[in-house]
């Protein structure tokens, strides 16, 4: 019988709110059993870019990562945010270790090919070193992954944190019974984005297509849900979207994805 593993991706709005960040990490540290955390930090990277008077370019909500932007993202994601999360988890007696995709070749990517848009130094994931990550987990460590991968040729790449979480979940599902959580400030996928009480409790693929067609699911939620279904189609047991309270199972007010 496989050991249970909870993989949690935390959204930027929570990371940027010191009180919400502390509450989340307290809930995460209290999770029994094996766990793994994935984070981005786009808002913090944008703020630093503006302080340095660098333009922030996006296309359809996706960041263009030129060489200067990659330097900032690496400093913010793999440096300040990752290290501070690990320190806070240690204070909560959660023995964690900071990771990027370059560590032990954890997550190998290729630079996204140029088609209609040149996204710059953005990585599309090719391979996950699940053996190394399994060693960390079974040694009692909690990996904390930033949204940085590499191409095994010395080049770091900015990579979508939702996709990293789903890729880790898929790879580790061969060894563990994996539940994937996407935690953010909203209570789940909402029927009405202005009403936090309009949570759609269950979304299967048929419901998903209807929500896309009606425009209820759009913009950044589209790739997030695509990652969810991709994970479910690759042995991940369960995928949930909502606020951090769902981690303690004290609330059923969140969205569960199912095939």
CA distance 73 to 54: 12
pLDDT more than 70, % of the chain: 98
Q: What does DSSP say about strands 62-63 and 238-242: parallel, antiparallel, or unpaired?
A: unpaired
CA distance 138 to 121: 33
- The string of DSSP letters for 27-80 reads HHHT--SEEEEEE--HHHHHHHHHHTT----EETTEE-B-HHHHHHHIIIIIII
CATH class, domain 4-184, is: alpha beta
- Residues 195-236 pLDDT 10s: 989 999 999 999 999 999 999 998 878 888 999 999 999 999
- Return the domain boundaries, the chain: 4-184
Q: What does DSSP say about strands 58-59 and 62-63: parallel, antiparallel, or unpaired?
A: antiparallel
Model confidence band, residue 60 (pLDDT cutoffs 50, 70, 90): low
Six-digit token pair at 125? 């994931």
CA distance 146 to 117: 25
8-state DSSP, 248: G
Model confidence band, residue 56 (pLDDT cutoffs 50, 70, 90): confident
What is the model's pLDDT at position 117?
Answer: 87
DSSP H or E run through 211: helix 205-214
């Amino acid at each position: 019988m496989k050991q249970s593993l909870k993989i949690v991706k935390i959204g930027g709005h929570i990371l940027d709110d010191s009180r919400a960040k502390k509450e989340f990490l307290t809930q995460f540290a209290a999770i029994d059993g094996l766990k793994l955390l994935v984070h981005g930090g786009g808002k913090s990277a944008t703020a630093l870019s503006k302080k340095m008077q660098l333009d922030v370019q996006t296309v359809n909500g996706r960041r263009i990562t030129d060489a200067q932007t990659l330097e900032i993202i690496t400093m913010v994601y793999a440096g300040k945010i990752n290290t501070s999360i690990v320190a806070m988890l240690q204070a909560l007696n959660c023995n964690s270790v900071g990771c990027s995709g370059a560590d032990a070749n954890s997550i190998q990517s290729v630079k996204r090919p140029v088609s209609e848009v040149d996204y710059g130094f953005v990585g599309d994931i090719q391979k996950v070193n699940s053996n190394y990550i399994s060693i960390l987990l079974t040694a009692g460590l909690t990996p904390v992954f930033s949204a940085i991968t590499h191409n095994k040729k010395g080049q770091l790449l900015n990579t979508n944190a939702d996709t990293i979480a789903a890729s880790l979940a898929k790879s580790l599902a061969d060894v563990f019974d994996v539940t994937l959580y996407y935690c953010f400030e909203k209570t789940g996928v909402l029927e009405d984005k202005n009403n936090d009480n309009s949570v759609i409790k269950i979304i299967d693929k048929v419901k998903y297509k209807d929500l896309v067609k009606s425009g209820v699911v759009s913009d950044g939620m589209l790739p997030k849900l695509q990652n969810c279904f991709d994970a479910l189609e690759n042995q991940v047991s369960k995928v949930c979207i909502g606020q951090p309270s769902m981690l303690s199972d004290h609330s059923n007010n969140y969205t569960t994805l199912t095939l």
